Structure formats: C-alpha cells, structure tokens
C-alpha cells in the first residue's frame, strides 16, 4: 500500500491507495481506492470539500475510486431547490404520510439494538449476494456507527415501530447519504425511495443545496435508481454536470462505455 498525495486544496491531508482488487459494482473489473488516513479526524467543511471532489465515507474511511481503465464511479448529487418528484416518487410519498421522522445524532441513539435488528433483517432479506452478508454486530458498528466526522441518522417511525434508518453525513452544502436500511417486508411503501425524499425535504428545510447520493455507475443496474431523482448532477472529469431528464437504457450503456478509458472526454480526437 503506497502513500498517495493528490495535488488539490486538500493536499495537506495524508492519503493512501490500495492495491487492485475486485470491483464491487462491475464484475471482472479491477478497482483501486484512494482513502484518507483513518486516524485523521475531519470537520464538516473538510468532508464537504472532499465530497465535492468525489470522495465519500464508509465507517472510519473516506475514499474515492482511482482505477486505471475505468471512470464509471460518478459522484452524483440532487440540487434540492429544483428537484421534482416523478409519478412513482409521489406515490411513495403519499403512501408514507403516516410515518414520523426523527433526526438523531450518533450520541443520542435510544436503542442500538433496534437499529441492528432492522439492519440484520434488511441484509438477510435484500442483500444475500452483497459484501455485507452475512451481517454481524461488529460489521454493523464499524460500517454505520464509527465515523470520522459529524454524522446523524434520519429515522422513520410508524408509532413505536422503527421502519427505516438513513445514515447521513453533515456537509456545509447539504448532506451525504451514506446508507439506508429499512423493513424489507414493507414492499408497498417503497421505503428506500421515501427515505431519499425525506432527506431532500430535510435539506430544503435547512436552506442548503444538495443531497449527495454516492456513486452512480452506468453499467451497474443496481445503481440505476439514482438517475430517477431529477435533476441531478454528475461529477465527470472534475466538473459537475446537470442531467435534466431520465436516460434510457441505450443512453446509459453509451455513457458507461465512454467512461471505460483513462483519457478525459474530448481527448479521443487527439490521442488515438
């Protein structure tokens, strides 16, 4: 593992880069990650600057993909002032008006056991083919309770029953959506959709700008739900670009193919 120091306003932080490993999103593709030294505590403003350059957090680690031959991990964010619900999102919104919302900081959690019970059920039912299966208490705490910055949880309740938990990082321009888990048996409610809508509403109430949804990977079907939150912005080659309409399957495939190169957009006409 080598030390890695990108030239940026954040150059005083210490970074490392991992050896190649299997990509979590695209099969048969190698991946590498640049990450901050996890011993460094960072504040909201530093994490915000990092988020604007494509980093995100998982547990104690703040990371960004840095792959030799692929640029498909596109950071995406929703500008909340111009966001408009589509018909399916409106249905999810209306179905869940009986739920109440509670915003809780890590040191204010009433019952970690209730969190873990819901998380364990969610992973066992929805993600048996994922990296987090089988779930464990240690994994849960390292992934969602350990943090190097200011994090909070957006909870959804049906009376005294916990229905959904979204782990969020506070940013100076909004929030970063780290992970959401919910009751997997409540299919009709579309709790995953509703949780994102409530995060958007929460950031609107704070007069901030964005909900960062992590990475959108065009060639990974499980990530395609993110382009339903329109308009949304993509970080491509260091610049944010706004997408104002839903892309069809052919357009998504074409975009992903164009990102399977280390050459920035526009260079193909110059370098053969």
Number of domains making up the chain: 1
Task: Quote the pLDDT of residue 34.
Answer: 96
In this structure, what CATH number is given to the domain that contains residue 187? 3.40.630.30
In the chain, which stretches have pLDDT less than 70?
1-9, 262-272
Task: Quote the pLDDT of residue 69.
Answer: 84
Task: Quote the pLDDT of residue 78.
Answer: 98
- Name the phi and psi angles at 54, rounded to 5: 105, 5
Task: Quote the pLDDT of residue 271.
Answer: 41
| Domain assignment of residue 113, yes or no | yes
Q: Determine the 3-state secondary structure of 45 from DSSP.
A: helix
- Name the phi and psi angles at 262, rounded to 5: -90, -10
Q: Which of 239, 219, 229 is nearest to 196 (CA)?
A: 229
Q: Where are the beta strands (DSSP E) in 84-220?
A: 100-105, 151-158, 161-171, 174-182, 210-216
| Domain assignment of residue 111, yes or no | yes
Task: Quote the pLDDT of residue 1.
Answer: 40
- Name the phi and psi angles at 130, rounded to 5: -100, 175
| Domain assignment of residue 185, yes or no | yes
| Domain assignment of residue 219, yes or no | no
Task: Quote the pLDDT of residue 6.
Answer: 43
Range of the domain at 106: 90-205
| Domain assignment of residue 137, yes or no | yes
| Domain assignment of residue 51, yes or no | no
Task: Quote the pLDDT of residue 9.
Answer: 60
Task: Quote the pLDDT of residue 265.
Answer: 56
Q: Which of 214, 184, 211, 186 is nearest to 196 (CA)?
A: 211
Task: Quote the pLDDT of residue 105.
Answer: 93
The DSSP output letter for 20 is: P
Task: Quote the pLDDT of residue 5.
Answer: 43
CB 155, CB 183: distance < 8 Å: no
């Amino acid at each position: 593992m080598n030390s890695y120091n990108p030239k940026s306003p954040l150059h005083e932080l210490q970074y490392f880069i991992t050896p190649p490993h299997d990509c979590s999103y695209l099969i048969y593709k190698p991946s590498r990650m640049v990450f901050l030294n996890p011993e460094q505590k960072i504040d909201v403003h530093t994490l915000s600057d990092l988020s604007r350059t494509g980093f995100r957090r998982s547990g104690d680690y703040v990371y960004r993909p840095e792959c030799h031959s692929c640029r498909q991990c596109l950071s995406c964010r929703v500008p909340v002032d111009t966001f408009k619900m589509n018909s399916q999102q409106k249905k999810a919104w209306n179905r869940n008006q009986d739920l109440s919302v509670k915003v809780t900081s890590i040191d204010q959690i009433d019952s970690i056991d209730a969190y873990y019970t819901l998380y364990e059920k969610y992973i066992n039912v929805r993600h048996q083919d994922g990296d987090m299966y089988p779930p464990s208490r240690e994994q849960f705490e390292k992934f969602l309770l350990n943090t190097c910055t200011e994090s909070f949880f957006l909870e959804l309740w049906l009376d005294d029953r916990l229905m959904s938990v979204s782990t969020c990082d506070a940013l100076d321009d909004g929030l970063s959506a780290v992970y959401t888990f919910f009751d997997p048996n409540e299919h009709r409610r579309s709790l995953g959709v509703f949780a994102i809508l409530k995060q958007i509403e929460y950031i609107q109430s704070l007069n901030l700008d964005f909900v960062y949804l992590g990475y959108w990977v065009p060639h990974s079907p499980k990530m395609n739900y993110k382009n339903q939150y329109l308009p949304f912005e993509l970080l491509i080659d260091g610049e944010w670009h706004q997408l104002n309409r839903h892309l069809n399957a052919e357009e998504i495939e074409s975009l992903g193919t164009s990102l399977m190169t280390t050459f920035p957009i526009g260079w193909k006409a110059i370098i053969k």
